[in-house]
Amino acid sequence: MDQFYTISLFLLLLVLIYFTYQIVNLLVTMLKQRKIEGAMEFCLSSTGRYAYIGMIAGYIVAWAIFIWTCIVGWQLDSLQWLNNGLSVLTIYTVIFSMQLANVVVLGKKHMLIGRLLVDYRKMKKIDLNSKREMTFVYAQKSFRFSTRFVDIKKLREAIARKA
């Protein structure tokens, strides 16, 4: 049974490293674009702000649970504790990175959707539908993202102003 825990611990660690890399890469992209463009602001509704604050707090709690289970696992010499803590952290990291990929940041010339940098002037066939998603064509490719936590009024103003 220890071999199973060792293998699953290694696989979970690989998944955790990959999705943590995705989160860090997304944050670095946002910071770089903010430095280049200057005045960029998040396009979050009030519900979105509270949701992302809650997700960030949950991510910190997941890391605390992981550290606590590591300490207990090493004291008890149990790989099961390490595996459980790593499972909680990995699952939450996957969910958090997927939600973070839908963050919209508006600038003067560009819009950043996750890691996708979009020039307002080159967007075609923009559709903000009632299904809480936005679709548009950019560089002959069709894109779709969720607008669940996006301030749609601010997004429409930014697109209309730039078009």
- Residue 64 has a pLDDT of 93
Position 163 pLDDT exceeds 60: no
Flag whether pLDDT at 134 surpasses 60: yes
Q: What is the pTM of this model?
A: 0.80
Q: Where are the domains of the chain?
A: 2-106, 110-162
pLDDT for the residue 67: 93
pLDDT band at 58 (very low <50, low <70, confident <90, very high): very high
Model confidence pLDDT, tens digit, residues 60-105 = 999 999 999 989 988 988 888 888 888 899 999 999 998 888 888 8
- Give the contacts of 113 (CB within 8 A, at least 6 positions apart): 102, 103, 104, 143, 145
DSSP-H helix ranges across the chain: 2-37, 46-76, 79-100, 152-162
